[in-house]
Chains A and B, each alone.
Chain A
Amino acid sequence: MIALHVPGNSPVHRLPVGAKLLGCLIGSTILAFLHSPGPLALLLFLIVGLYALARLPASAMLTTLRPLLPVLSIIFIAQTALSGWLPAATAMLRIASLVLLAALVTFTTPLSAMIDAITRAARPLGRFGISAPKLGLAIALALRFIPALAKDWREIEDARAARGASRIGFLGIGTLILRTLCMTNALGDAIASRDFESRR
């Protein structure tokens, strides 16, 4: 599985995950309450500075913002028509800062550290019936299922092509799900027979 994490050894990378998540939360709360372009631009400048401190390539920021471009341009045009270019620019600054700040946490934190932080944070949730080991199992299983599903999908496509059928439609998803459900039954039994519940 490819994660968005960019390995590194900068001060930002070395911060504990909890601190980064908390910082992100505080930062986005401040951003949500700023309504003038000056302070917003200053904060955006600070965030870009953090990217430099983390020694992330400039392309990291571009790949984060590029998928947002269509939505952002619609918002910009509508805002300009509605209330002038200054509020439009302010909205752009705020959205860009929010997204870049949150993405910085993702870029500088390895997936394993993130899973650890989540299962640790989930421990107090035990009294609401969410058990941390089960959450960890669910995450691990889902990560394994994604490439397996992609592989099965290609097999179904190939089988259809071999039968001379035209390109696969969305309904191939039904076949994929039936096929995978049959497989998961055995998987559940396998995990249960290894006594997952009583070992934890």
Chain B
Amino acid sequence: MRIQDIVYVSLFAAVTAALGLIPPIYLAILPVPITAQALGPLLAGSILGGRRGGLSQALFLLLVAMGLPLLTGGRGGLGVFAGPSAGYLFGFALAAFAVGWATERWWQRLGFVQALAINLLAGVLVIHACGIPVLAAVSGLGLAKALWGDAVFIPGDCLKAVIAALIAVFVKRGYPLIDQRTAGSPNR
């Protein structure tokens, strides 16, 4: 890994952390607030690609585990990895990798529609797929109930996929970091 790649990885770990500082938005139609933090893995994957994106979110989780209060609401420490929402956190790293991998594959033709599809299927879906089993196991709710509890977060996360796709296209135009020639072979 080049030094510049380490800088990018650190930057997007910090972006996910800084997104946790944005106050949650309350919409009357939803029972839970919309937080910005889950934008982090989507952006990291969309902008850095699979390997660097995934590593950046792993670094973010390491910082949280070290005891920095970086999660929305000022949570942090090893405790959150024992709590009911631990699965979603691991989903951050996996989703960033999946989004990045798909973004590299479709880089040449990447427009808003493609970016949105990638962020929904490889991002939001992966985060929830990681989160639900852990929620079910830790809370003892069982999968079906956990699925219902999870569903209230879906609209907000779809909105985040839209925002991430807009930003991904914006940054692709202004400062592309996934090299066209090496897209598809991230090990340079």
Contacts and interface: CB of A to CB of B under 8 A. Distances in A.
Interface of A: 1-5, 24, 28, 64, 67-68, 71-72, 74-75, 78-79, 82, 87, 90-91, 95, 98-103, 105-107, 109, 111, 114-115, 118, 129, 134, 137-139, 141-143, 145-146, 148-150, 153, 170-171, 173-174, 177-178, 180-182, 184-185, 187-189, 191-192, 196-197
Interface of B: 1-4, 6-11, 13-15, 17-19, 21, 36, 39, 43, 47, 59-60, 62-63, 66-70, 73-85, 138-142, 145, 149, 163, 166-167, 170-171, 174-175, 177
Q: Which residue, A138, A181, A188, A197, has most C-beta atoms of chain B within 10 A?
A: A138
Which DSSP category, helix, strand, loop or mixed, fits chain B's interface? Answer: helix
B7 A67 contact: no
A134 B140 CA distance: 40
B78 A82 contact: no
Contact of A78 (B6, B9, B141): B141
> DSSP class of A's interface residues: helix, strand, loop or mixed?
helix
A173 B19 contact: yes
A77 B79 CA distance: 22
25 contacts: A74-B149, A78-B145, A79-B140, A91-B140, A95-B138, A99-B80, A101-B79, A102-B78, A103-B78, A111-B67, A111-B68, A118-B66, A137-B10, A138-B6, A138-B10, A139-B59, A139-B63, A142-B59, A142-B63, A143-B14, A145-B14, A148-B14, A149-B17, A173-B19, A182-B175
